[in-house]
Structure 1
Amino acid sequence: MRAGGHTRRRVLSVAGTAVGAATLTGCGLFDDEPEPAPEPDPLQPLLDEALALAAAYDRAIAAQPDLGVRLTSLAEDHRAHAAELARLIGTALPSASAAPSSSASATDGDTTADLRKAEQAAQKTAVAACRTAPRERAALVGSIAACRATHAEALR
């Protein structure tokens, strides 16, 4: 023991504890603030739209099976877009839901007109996304925009 009552070992131990506590405090261990949520991927709206369009086609086909030949390939295009967007974003596609609900009151004209409007709106979203997409994503987004425009014309 020294004259002040503290040994060198005791002083070093206290100093080491203080440094360790300061380090833990600085690393965020004791922070009460939650981590901010990550920003959603800019292509997420396109993915959501592709899934919604595929579901809309599935509902139209269920409501009017005679449209199946005409609409099935269009729905498959949207599922392919969704799969590729999910891969690019790095997210999983939602699991397949139950069979689509049918709407017995829809007519051929109403169904295809509604789908055409949805395609036109989705095509505008894709064009806007293409304008702001990085080069490595622009080709895919441009292809999706073109496909949606083609679908709108096919539904005339």
Structure 2
Amino acid sequence: MTGSVRMSDSGHTRRRVLGASGALAGLVTLSGCGLFDDDPEPAPAPDALQPLLDEALTLAAAHTRVALAQPALAAKLTPLAEAHRAHAVELARVIGTTLPSGGAAPSAATTGADTAAALRKSEQAAQKTAAAACRSAPAERAALVGSIAAARASHAEALR
């Protein structure tokens, strides 16, 4: 009773026909799930450290601008700008991105916002951003983010 039953003269058995139709039904089901869709994958969410990287680059540029416009402050501001650039390099490495190319040097032209007092306020705001990021960072990133928060706090004090 379990012998193969021929469906026709073509040599196909009932099991072979049912197996093929089951496989076809499975493919149709999978194609409905998006397995064979040609739609591109959605862009990945930006890395949580990206705002810190952006701030580091912005702070470095601001310090450099003020140092160029006010040479008397250059000895104080240049090391701070270099520290922000070092933070940016390390953050980019951790994120897995490349830094934008330097291109042109910062302009010596300043605005009313480009003063040591304005830099201090920027450092204080950036320190808060880094401290918040440190609280939510995974363990392997917390030390880096914590050291950046501490550096920004010390920069704000150096600008008093």
TM over 0.5: yes
* Change over 3 Å in CA distance of 1:138–1:104 after alignment to 2: closer
Q: Does 1:99 align with 2:99?
A: no
CA shift for structure 1 position 19: 7.0
TM-score after normalising by structure 2: 0.78
Partner of 2:51: 45
Give structure 2 stretches of 5+ with no counterpart. Answer: 1-6
8 Å CA contact retained: 1:24, 1:30: no
Partner of 1:81: 87
* Change over 3 Å in CA distance of 1:65–1:106 after alignment to 2: farther
* Change over 3 Å in CA distance of 1:77–1:19 after alignment to 2: same
CA shift for structure 1 position 103: 2.4
Q: How does 1:133-148 map to 2 (within 5 A)?
A: 133-148=137-152
CA shift for structure 1 position 24: 7.8
Partner of 2:120: 116
1:64-118 deviation line (CA, Å, top 9, x unaligned): 22321111000000001011111111111111131112225659xx610010000
Distance (Å, rounded) in 2 between the aligned partners of 1:4 and 1:135: 67
Bigger Cα Rg: 2
What RMSD, in angstroms, separates the aligned Cα atoms of the two structures? 2.9
Any runs of at least 4 consecutive aligned residues in structure 1 with deviations exceeding 4 A, and if so which? Answer: 3-8, 15-21, 104-107
Distance (Å, rounded) in 1 between the aligned partners of 2:37 and 2:151: 51
* Change over 3 Å in CA distance of 1:104–1:125 after alignment to 2: closer
8 Å CA contact retained: 1:63, 1:106: no
* Change over 3 Å in CA distance of 1:48–1:104 after alignment to 2: closer
Q: Does 1:155 align with 2:150?
A: no
- SS of alignment partner, residue 97 of structure 1: coil
Q: How many residues align?
A: 150
TM-score after normalising by structure 1: 0.79
8 Å CA contact retained: 1:74, 1:151: yes
Partner of 1:59: 65
Distance (Å, rounded) in 2 between the aligned partners of 1:118 and 1:140: 20
Give structure 1 stretches of 5+ with no counterpart. Answer: none
Distance (Å, rounded) in 2 between the aligned partners of 1:57 and 1:93: 18
Distance (Å, rounded) in 1 between the aligned partners of 2:112 and 2:78: 17
Distance (Å, rounded) in 2 between the aligned partners of 1:104 and 1:111: 8
Q: Going by fraction, where is helix more abundant, 1 or 2? A: 1
Quick one: which amino acid aligns to residue 150 of structure 2?
Answer: A
* Change over 3 Å in CA distance of 1:104–1:81 after alignment to 2: closer
